[in-house]
Chain A
Amino acid sequence: MAKVFIYPATSLILSDLVARYGHEPLGSALSIREHVQTPGFDSPPIQMTSEDPQKGLKWAAVEVPSGIRGRMALYGPLVEEAEAAIIIDEPDLAFGCMGCARTNELLVFMLREKDIPRLELRYPATKEEGVTFVAKIKQFLKDLEVKE
């Protein structure tokens, strides 16, 4: 079992595929759930406070917009935990919407910098490409298991 960071981190399909092949998906659902379920916060809708952008300073400098630093406070720890990554380039909005393009650039860069198995795929445009797309993800996840 490996911890696999999924990009887009909001993709339920990727999350499901990773879990289905016995690995742990690392995505937004985890870190946002932690925020939403932590009692005592009063900052709807995702309960982030102004301290989160300060935590984000670990991954992005002070001149980086606060929204990016706040997002990095959610994603940064997950990237550090990741043992593998699946990155989908230019995904459709419906596949998994990641709000900030600049955060996304930083995230993908951090994943590429990390010495972990990584699968990068272009978002499929046709049904045939879709079948190949899923098959490649499946193979990548199976190979991860073998290496373990």
Chain B
Amino acid sequence: MSAKEQPVRIAQITCGAEYSGIQNEITSAAETVGAKMFYPDVALKDVKRAYKDFGLPVKSPDLKLAIARAQAIVEGRIEADGIFIASCFRCAEAAIVRNELRRYILENSKIPVVSYSFNERTGASTLLTRLEALSTIAKRRALMAREVQVGTTMGVDSGSSTTKCIIMQDNKIIGTGWRPTTDVLNSADEVIALALEESGLKISDIEATGSTGYGRFLVGKHIKADLIQEELTVNSKGAVYLANAQKGFATVIDIGGMDNKAISVNDGMPGSFTMGGICAGASGRFLEMTAKRLGVDITKLGALSMESDGGENVPMNSYCIVFGTQSLVNALAAGFKPADVAAAACHSVAQQVYEQQLQEVDIKEPVIMVGGSSLIQGLVRAMGRMLKTEIVVPPYSQYIGAVGGALISSGFVDKKVKEA
């Protein structure tokens, strides 16, 4: 953050954060991304009025205070660039308030919101991507509004399972690179080399670069990226660009190797989003485990699962990757076919993402699935059945973060041209 740049002000609407001992984690995660958390100040009479107006008869005074704080922001009495709503994991009363406040804010204001349920082990690193996304949406609206890629740019997505690179020139993809993530920097160098080779360009031809994913800071520094940005905003931008859905509403679902993202997008800008599930049983990692147990390559799991009707009759619904794998072994021992088990694993992941995450974003069509897991047809089919809609899987969907990085970083080409 430059000296002149004002920190993004994020209103903290929480219940229990101080008593769970994680307040410092929230504050430090915000500081890392150049944001500042603040508690919206409300008077006692505001609390009484807001709680009555809102109409939700909650018992906890801290939740009544949360309602009053949200109302003060929505009514414009307090200014905020973003809102962070959070409460204790397992608290039903707070979960109701959290969900209703998120909906109320989204319907009545344009302020980006992220909601989260924490426990005492929630650390700054867990909160970082969420607060970074909030801060990015608030701070970089102009950059995020970019709809066309210009010049020659490169995006590198250093994910937890795979590293991807995309080179774009004049709004076209001309080079791709993909490798499993081993050593973060070596994997990045390898995918860049692959993409350069395919495009027939040299690194010196690249006018701007962007990095995203878990290794974004390390890789970004290594390649001197113009843009280092979290994957929530980058992926949603890349998804609506590739799916040709830059205007109006869309929902982006990215089931990743380590966690999942469900993002509600409007005119290319992420509105609300959720990230992460309770367990890896709801992530791409579970599908990797399934493929390994079935003795097929992960790239063949999708085709295998399509040989089955959907696998809904196979008992497999666990919130835990260990118990999920146990269900898988039991199903095979009970005589179910590998195709049914593969489909059941896809169904289980889709069901858990639906139950844990999609309830927290407004599902609006088109629903776009991206990331490597979008190539597993059984998973796309299961999600489509769950949401009762046709899922869009755009071309290059597995490169989504890299495409978003190349697209958004082209904003720096204009800037460099002007400066020159």
Contact = CB atoms under 8 A, between A and B. Distances in A.
A52 interface: yes
B60 A102 contact: yes
B91 A65 contact: yes
| Chain A interface, >50% SS class | loop
A124 B188 CA distance: 69
B395 interface: no
B18 to A, nearest CB: 5
Interface stretch (A18-26, A66-74, A131-139): A66-74
A70 B24 contact: no
Interface residues on A, range: 20 to 34
Contacts of B59: 101, 104
B21 interface: yes
What are the 10 closest A-B residue pairs judged by CB atoms, nearest first? A67-B16, A101-B59, A65-B88, A70-B19, A99-B62, A66-B20, A50-B21, A43-B24, A53-B120, A101-B60
B47 A93 contact: yes
A144 interface: no
A54 B88 contact: no
B22 A50 contact: yes
A98 B61 contact: yes
Contacts of A64: 90
B386 interface: no
Given A50-B121, A53-B120, A101-B60, A71 B22 contact: no
B371 to A, nearest CB: 31
Nearest to B19: A70
A77 B311 CA distance: 53
B48 interface: yes
Nearest to B93: A101
A1 interface: no
Contacts of B24: 42-44
A50 B120 contact: yes
A120 B269 CA distance: 54
A39 interface: no
Nearest to A99: B62
Contacts, number: 102
Contacts of B61: 93, 97-99, 101
A73 to B, nearest CB: 8
Interface of A: 42-46, 48-54, 63-71, 74, 93-94, 97-102, 104
Contacts of B19: 46, 48, 52-53, 66-68, 70-71, 74, 99-100
Nearest to A8: B61
Interface residues of B, number: 33
Given A44-B27, A100-B60, A102-B93, A67 B15 contact: yes
Interface string B1-42: 000000000000001111111111001000000000000000
B23 A44 contact: yes
Contacts of A98: 61
Nearest to A44: B23
Given A43-B23, A99-B61, A102-B93, 15 more contacts: A46-B18, A49-B21, A50-B22, A64-B90, A66-B16, A66-B19, A66-B88, A67-B20, A68-B19, A70-B18, A70-B21, A70-B120, A99-B16, A101-B63, A101-B93
Contact of A100 (B15, B23, B90, B121): B15
B120 A93 contact: no
Interface centre among B20, B27, B62, B63 (most CB of A within 10 A): B20
Interface string B114-131: 000011110000000000
A9 B61 CA distance: 13
B93 A54 contact: no
B104 to A, nearest CB: 21
Given A50-B120, A93-B48, A101-B59, A67 B23 contact: no
A67 B19 CA distance: 5
6 contacts: A45-B23, A53-B21, A65-B89, A66-B118, A99-B19, A101-B58
B64 A43 contact: no
